[in-house]
Amino acid sequence: MDGALPGKLVAPPVIPAHAREVVNTRTVTFQGNIATVPVQFFLDGKPFSAARIDQAVLAGTTEEWLLVNQDVFRHPFHIHVNPFQVVELNGAPTGDDSWWDTFALPPLGSAKIRIYFRPDVTGLTVYHCHILPHEDNGMMANLLIYGDLPAGFGPSAHGG
Ligand SMILES: [Cu+2]
């Protein structure tokens, strides 16, 4: 990337995520601790670290992520690059085809989402809570979207 703006905006995928084969599932948990100063927020029990890749996904595939909010606060999940569809909310099917880049997780609730990782965009990106004091105090994680890998590495080598 040379820093130039793209010449056109990217439309959501034509085939909805719920109509695509799910090749991998993951669970991401959201936790908070307001007993500390400053407060701390975690994804999968860990505060953000720039030195760690938390999830690695294969470009061109669809994944289903169960987002579990173990906190008493609402946490709006936000992910960069690829939009997602919410297929279940608190375990109940949504029947909703809307594309989201941010979706509020209810307190002590869950959302199951499907993400189609478009094949033409690879690299490192992030997902995080979209409440600034939460993401700034730990509730963010690194996502690697990878393309071709050397022989012997593939979807079975996924983290998460
Ligand atoms: Cu939050």
CA of 160 to the centre of ligand 1 (A): 21
DSSP tag of 28: E
Q: How far is residue 148 CA from its own chain's centroid? A: 21
CA of 155 to the centre of ligand 1 (A): 30
Residue corresponding to tokens 């690299």: 123
CA of 154 to the centre of ligand 1 (A): 33
Q: How far is residue 77 CA from its own chain's centroid? A: 7
Write down the mean pLDDT value for the chain.
89
Q: In order of start, what are the domains of the chain with their CATH numbers?
A: 20-157 (2.60.40.420)
The answer to whether 78 and 102 are in contact (CB under 8 A) is yes
pLDDT in tens, 68-119: 999 999 999 999 999 999 999 999 999 998 999 999 999 999 999 999 999 9
CA of 4 to the centre of ligand 1 (A): 32
CA of 136 to the centre of ligand 1 (A): 10
- C-alpha separations of 39 from 72, 106, 145, 160 in Å: 14, 20, 30, 26
Instruction: Answer yes or no: is pLDDT of 55 > 90.
Output: yes
pLDDT of residue 52: 96
CA of 8 to the centre of ligand 1 (A): 32
CA of 108 to the centre of ligand 1 (A): 12
Q: How far apart are CA 24 and CA 61, in angstroms?
A: 8
pLDDT in tens, 18-43: 778 999 999 999 999 988 888 999 99
pLDDT of residue 150: 55
The predicted model scores a pTM of 0.85
- C-alpha separations of 48 from 76, 91, 139, 143 in Å: 16, 28, 6, 12
CA of 13 to the centre of ligand 1 (A): 28
CA of 85 to the centre of ligand 1 (A): 20
3-state helix/strand/coil string of 36-84? CCCCEEEECCECCCCCCCCEEEECCCEEEEEEEECCCCCEEEEECCCCE
Residue among 68, 66, 77, 71 nearest 29 (CA) = 68
